[in-house]
Structure 1
Amino acid sequence: MLANGATLGYRKKGSTEEYKNLTGLKEIPELGDDPEKVENTGLADKVKQYEFGIGDAGDLTYKFKYENTSEDSPYRVMRKAGATKEVLSFCEELPDGTRYEYDAQVSVKRSGGGVNGVMEWDLNMALQSEIVTTDPA
């Protein structure tokens, strides 16, 4: 499946409003977690024993086209949320209808530029909840 058509929406944490899609999305990150492998060997064991601990989703960075022409430009809205450390709810939806919902604080970083180089910005997530996956019907 191609990533074309994937969306990322946001809303105030705790809100029941529809998610508002952030326009200009160019790239989505890997989603999931890598649980820490914890050694838990007993004195009678012949080999080391392990179990999985809590997971780490790693760096979640979404890439967008740069556009800052209005008050509701995603670049400006997310920059303001980052400055206040506001926790927002997010929903990434894939073209097949799979949804990933989570809460996060954000930070914004604009790319550099050069001759014939496009301007972009990165939306970095600091997870504040588990990632809930909803499969398509």
Structure 2
Amino acid sequence: MAISTYKIFLMMKGEEAAYEKLIDIKDFPDLGGSPEMLETTTLSDKMQTYIPGIQSLDALEFTANYTKTDFTKLKALEGQEKEFAVWFGGDETGGTLTPTGADGKFTFSGQLSAFPVGGGVNEVVDMTVTIAPSTPIELATD
């Protein structure tokens, strides 16, 4: 069964070793990438052949609404190695949405940076949160 992008959260491990929602996001990047192709073609092959190499992964870019409070919070985290996660799934009770990760928790470590992005007439001001991953992205087993 397919799931919706509703109830997807950018999380960060807090001081008490529990994940907390970092900020509300508007989109999230690919949580993986294609492996590099290592060519194995010989002069006896009539077509190029390959084996998979190391998986490629670019910086992880998330879009969020700009608020001074969120931006200040993110800037204070720059230059620090933190544990992050993207959680799929949440519960909504009494008008409150709580992240659960029931449909998957993708965890990784890295360093973030944030910047406001340009805009035009009659647009919402956004910011980009970029995380440089320092560990592979893993599907948590809990």
Matched, 1:87 2:93: no
1:46 shift after superposition:
5.1
How many positions carry a matched residue from both structures? 128
State the superposition RMSD in angstroms: 2.2
CA distance in 1, matches of 2:26, 2:45: 50
Alignment partner, residue 122 of structure 1: 128
Q: Find the residue that maps to 2:111 and give its secondary structure.
A: strand
Is contact 1:40-1:48 (8 Å) kept? yes
Q: What is the identity, as a one-letter code, of the residue corresponding to 2:130?
A: N
Alignment partner, residue 3 of structure 1: 5
Cα offsets for 1:39-79 (capped at 9, x unmatched) = 1234555543311110112242111111123xxx3x22222
Is contact 2:11-2:21 (8 Å) kept? yes
Structural mapping, 1:1-137, within 5 Å: 1-11=3-13, 17-42=17-42, 45=45, 47-69=47-69, 73=70, 75-82=71-78, 85-95=79-89, 96-134=102-140
CA distance in 2, matches of 1:16, 1:49: 50
CA distance in 2, matches of 1:80, 1:40: 47
Q: Find the residue that maps to 1:77 and give its secondary structure.
A: helix
Q: Find the residue that maps to 1:63 and give its secondary structure.
A: strand
1:33 shift after superposition:
1.6
1:16 shift after superposition:
6.2
For normalisation by structure 2, the TM-score amounts to 0.77
1:19 shift after superposition:
1.2
Counting aligned pairs with the same residue, the percent is: 24
Which segments of 5 or more consecutive residues in structure 1 lack a partner in the other structure? none
CA distance in 1, matches of 2:66, 2:116: 8
Which segments of 5 or more consecutive residues in structure 2 lack a partner in the other structure? 90-101
Is contact 1:24-1:66 (8 Å) kept? no
For normalisation by structure 1, the TM-score amounts to 0.80
CA distance in 1, matches of 2:16, 2:38: 38
Is contact 2:106-2:139 (8 Å) kept? yes
CA distance in 1, matches of 2:81, 2:115: 18
